[in-house]
Amino acid sequence: MFKLILRNTLRHRLRTTLTILGMAIAILSFGLLRTVVDAWYAGVEGAAADRLVTRNAISLIFRLPLAYLNKIQTIDGIKKVTYGFWFGGVYIDEKNFFPQFAVELPTYLDIYSEFVVDPEQRQVLVKERNACVAGRKLAQRFGWKLGDIITLKGTIFPGDWELVLRAIYDGVEETTDETRFFFHWDYVNETMKKNFPTVANQVGWFISQVEDIERAPLIAAQIDATFANSLAETLTESEKAFQMGFVSMTKAIIMAIQVVSYVVIAIILIVLANTMAMTARERQEEHAVLKTLGFQGRHLVTLIAGESVAIAFLGGLAGIIAIFPAAHFFRTALGNYFRIFNVSDETLAICLLIALVVGVVAAIFPAWRAARVPIAEGLRRIG
């Protein structure tokens, strides 16, 4: 049976090649689209369960007084607290976008242990007023070296801000974001005190590290209760929920991408089913001859399903192999938007499973019909 399946698969080589190519493109498209969705959720997946984010209850664009820090620190169950805000500067050109944060660096690096900084570099980073730290991928992107002066043109905070690169951090895992940029909150706040005193001593959010993960919801409620009825009420949520809030803003786009990925699979299923139906119809006489030689309906089902699965499997395998160079291209070309663009093992397994399922489903009707056609009807066109 295997020999017959192999010969049938290779009989019409052009048709088989084109079908395999179509299957490969479909699997490649599905794998890339799924990886895009995974990249969109990368921040959510990378969130730590022991971190809480406290922001203004109205919106993230409204700031909180730095004075809240002391009250948050006194709440039972909180291990450490840090703070910061989104800086939003421009480096040389607006196209050179990357995440920039002014934070309280010593405590921030303690809480975010996934950002690994060399001890010697960290010592200089913490002490120097205008020092900054960048992720490994970000430094490689712009060719930065330790000691380089990086000038950011402020959009939210006016002026040209000169920063000295004193440290480069590495991620603990492959999925850790290495494209972020951090510098001292104090450096910005000192300037705000002189030029814009009304916005000084304010932060965008507080990040608390809790001692007991199970108590995190209670601690979050206690933080918000502390600042209830104040001029700046707070909303405290887990880091995962905080990140999910950004993702939910683009939920419609994500759903559209997911729908398109399944439409691509549906199309290739129809194409493969049509190919197998055409093949079964062309070999109707051969199937009748096989029946006269003693082959049963199950044998014909095996022949047709085996050929369909073989074509789908080869196409799926080719598509999976093509995902890696395609993902590398996307990672290079769209690194500004997808800071983490890694093809997961789960995506590869799903792609292979889909290829096999498409092969089986596409063969159902042609195999069923071939098994039921009477010998006389199959032989009537012979001679």
pLDDT at 250: 64
Average pLDDT (221-249) is: 86
Residue 294 reports pLDDT greater than 80: no
Of 11-15, 17-21, 194-198, 378-382, the poorest mean pLDDT is in: 378-382
Of 47-51, 125-129, 371-375, the poorest mean pLDDT is in: 371-375
CA–CA separation, 51 and 49 (whole Å) = 6
pLDDT in tens, 202-219: 999 999 999 999 999 999
pLDDT in tens, 297-350: 777 888 888 888 889 999 999 999 999 998 888 777 666 566 667 788 888 999
Mean pLDDT of the chain: 86
pLDDT at 336: 57
What end-to-end distance do the CA atoms of the chain give, in Å?
A: 27
Backbone angles phi, psi at 110, to 5 degrees: -70, -45
How deeply is 148 buried, as exposed, middle or buried, from its count of CB atoms within 10 A (0-12, 13-18, 19+)?
A: middle
pLDDT at 44: 63
CA–CA separation, 34 and 254 (whole Å) = 10
Average pLDDT (116-126) is: 94
pLDDT at 201: 92
pLDDT at 339: 64
pLDDT at 338: 63
